[in-house]
Amino acid sequence: MFSQVFEDINSMFSTTNSFFASHSSTTSPFDNMRRNSGFQQQQQQQQQQQPMKKVVKPYGEPLHDQFIRGDDIHHKCEVTLHDLMYGKIIKLSLPKVVKCLHCDGCGGLNVKTCKTCLGSGKVMIIQYNQFAQYKQTSSCASCHGTGTYMRPQDKCIYCDGGYVETTKIIQVYVPPGAKSGDVIIIRGESDEGKNIIPGDLIIELRQKPHPYLVRKNNDLFMNYELDLKTALLGGEVMVPNFLRMGQFLKIYINCHGQQSINNEKVQEGEIVGTINTNEPKVINGLGMPINTNASYNNGRIVQPNDRQDPSYVENMMLSDQVFHRGNLYINFHVKMPSSNDFSEQSLVDLQKILPTTSTYIPSPSDSIVEGHLSNVGPATKKRKIVD
């Protein structure tokens, strides 16, 4: 009985069975992949062979409705301490792109809106067929991105596109009390251009070094070599080339207040005592002006065009006398006279007049080492003896 059952099962799975015969195959599963790959290659060939259609459309808004701010122009200007003390009007000759006066910035006559881009200066190029579509934006080739078109014979012969490069004289107002590193901003004095809002002209002030004056904030500092007579008795001192060549600073020194020695002008000052080396003194109110004008803010000086605010010069370039000012600090170095400047009798008189500096008096039990002072040789002077 079992043998009959196995024969029936084998007959069911045999290739002679109509059901299994219709579904059996001797091909590999990769044959389907090859057929799909071939179909894709055929489809790509059809896409490549299919011609692409091209359409050009305007892209963006018309240029005459679009305005952008132009770049700022930076320039450095050298000034002296005298200029920063009293203020100065400086004229600079700078290159600048401006609107052509002959065509009023139009670039020519009979200017028309470009029909390809409708004034935007840009187009969108669309390429497509039944299988694919490609988009790309670019500058309009018909008007070269200007958005306008004119015949060659109508173009302005004096400019290129409505604007020319010229040289303009700019007046820069350096206010009293300005500092090195401050910037003066002149609104709207940068290059002009089509659909461009001109940027600003930014001028940075650079102070030339002074021979002996040093500025720190609003105060001035200097060293001065003073003779012994004035250091002891007081008097008047003339400092040449103070803020500029040919300007003198006259200093009144009242050391003791004795009217029989110094004139009334010297007596008006404070009694400062004997002037000692490396002992600073001060002249109040002889430093830099302290400018509190509203247009001067943290080193940024906003200067409008003259045509925008004609009263700016009157308000900003005020006399330095109206400002509060810093101080002038002087570090004196007293120069001792040479013994050859005195006669023998004068030296005897000085010995009687000048006070004697007290010295230590050794006790009988102390030992004493003696020595005579001599001049240092030239070779030794070049070396640093004491650190």
Asked if the structure places residue 30 within a domain, the reply is: no
Residue 20 has pLDDT above 50, yes or no: no
Residue 135 has pLDDT above 90, yes or no: no
Instruction: Write the pLDDT tens digit of every residue in 249-307.
Output: 999 999 988 888 888 899 999 999 999 999 999 999 999 998 877 667 778 888 877 65
Determine the pLDDT at residue 161: 83
- Run of H or E including 227: strand 219-227
Q: What value, to the nearest 5°, has the Cα angle with vertex 336 and ends 333 and 342? A: 155
* Beta pairing, strands 219-227 & 328-335: parallel
> Does 266 lie in the same domain as 184?
no
Residue 176 has pLDDT above 60, yes or no: yes
> Does 188 lie in the same domain as 219?
no
For 8, 95, 100, 207, the CA distances from 70, given in Å and listed in that order, are: 96, 15, 18, 29
pLDDT more than 70, % of the chain = 79
From 20-34, 88-102, 141-155, the region with the lowest mean pLDDT: 20-34
> Does 198 lie in the same domain as 72?
yes
| 105 vs 96: CA distance, rounded Å | 15
With bands split at pLDDT 50, 70 and 90, how would you rate the model's confidence at 5? very low
Residue 24 has pLDDT above 50, yes or no: no
> Does 203 lie in the same domain as 128?
yes
* Beta pairing, strands 183-186 & 201-207: antiparallel
> Does 325 lie in the same domain as 302?
yes
Determine the pLDDT at residue 362: 84
> Does 244 lie in the same domain as 228?
yes
User: Closest Cα partner for 128 from 62, 54, 218?
Assistant: 54
Contact at 8 Å (CB) between 194 and 103? Answer: no
Asked if the structure places residue 381 within a domain, the reply is: no
> Does 188 lie in the same domain as 81?
yes
Contact at 8 Å (CB) between 108 and 23? Answer: no
Determine the pLDDT at residue 209: 96
Chosen domain end from 313, 335, 357: 335
Chosen domain end from 335, 364, 380: 335
* Beta pairing, strands 281-283 & 328-335: antiparallel
Asked if the structure places residue 83 within a domain, the reply is: yes
* Beta pairing, strands 88-99 & 163-174: antiparallel
Instruction: Write the pLDDT tens digit of every residue in 207-246.
Output: 999 999 999 999 999 999 999 999 999 999 999 999 999 9
> Does 203 lie in the same domain as 221?
no
Chosen domain end from 207, 239, 270: 207
> Does 219 lie in the same domain as 190?
no
> Does 177 lie in the same domain as 232?
no
Two tokens at 152?
Answer: 């060659």
| 331 vs 278: CA distance, rounded Å | 6
Q: What is the mean pLDDT of the chain?
A: 82
| 23 vs 35: CA distance, rounded Å | 20
What does the pLDDT average to over 106-131?
A: 84
| 172 vs 302: CA distance, rounded Å | 11
Q: How far is CA 338 from the centre of its chain?
A: 52
Q: Which domain holds residue 122?
A: 68-207
Instruction: Write the pLDDT tens digit of every residue in 40-86.
Output: 565 555 555 667 777 777 777 776 667 888 899 999 999 999 999 99
For residue 228, give the CATH number of its domain. 2.60.260.20
Two tokens at 16?
Answer: 């002679």
DSSP 231-271: HHH-EEEEESSSSSTT--EEEEEBSS--TTTS-HHHHTS-B
Exposed / middle / buried, residue 77 (Cβ in 10 Å: 0-12, 13-18, 19+): middle
User: What b-and-e string marks burial along 173-189, b requiring 16 or more CB atoms within 10 Å of the CB?
Assistant: bbbbbbebebbbbbeeb
Determine the pLDDT at residue 2: 47
Asked if the structure places residue 53 within a domain, the reply is: no
Residue 324 has pLDDT above 80, yes or no: yes
From 11-15, 23-27, 125-129, 372-376, the region with the lowest mean pLDDT: 23-27
Residue 98 has pLDDT above 80, yes or no: yes
> Does 311 lie in the same domain as 251?
yes
The total domain count for the chain is 2
Determine the pLDDT at residue 46: 56
Higher confidence at residue 63 or residue 157?
Answer: 157
Asked if the structure places residue 318 within a domain, the reply is: yes
pTM of the model: 0.68
Asked if the structure places residue 305 within a domain, the reply is: yes
Q: Which amino acid is at 151?
A: R
Residue 206 has pLDDT above 60, yes or no: yes
pLDDT more than 90, % of the chain = 36
Determine the pLDDT at residue 37: 56
Residue 3 has pLDDT above 70, yes or no: no
Asked if the structure places residue 4 within a domain, the reply is: no
Bin 181: left if φ > 0, else alpha if -120 < ψ < 50, else beta: left
> Does 298 lie in the same domain as 268?
yes
φ, ψ dihedrals at 251, nearest 5°: -110, 130
| 2 vs 7: CA distance, rounded Å | 9
Asked if the structure places residue 175 within a domain, the reply is: yes
Secondary-structure breakdown of the chain: helix, strand, coil percentages, each rounded to the nearest 5: 20, 30, 50
Q: Residue with structure tokens 């008006």?
A: 268
User: Closest Cα partner for 219 from 86, 321, 315, 326?
Assistant: 326
Two tokens at 345?
Answer: 């009798």
CB under 8 Å to 336, separation ≥6 — which residues? 228
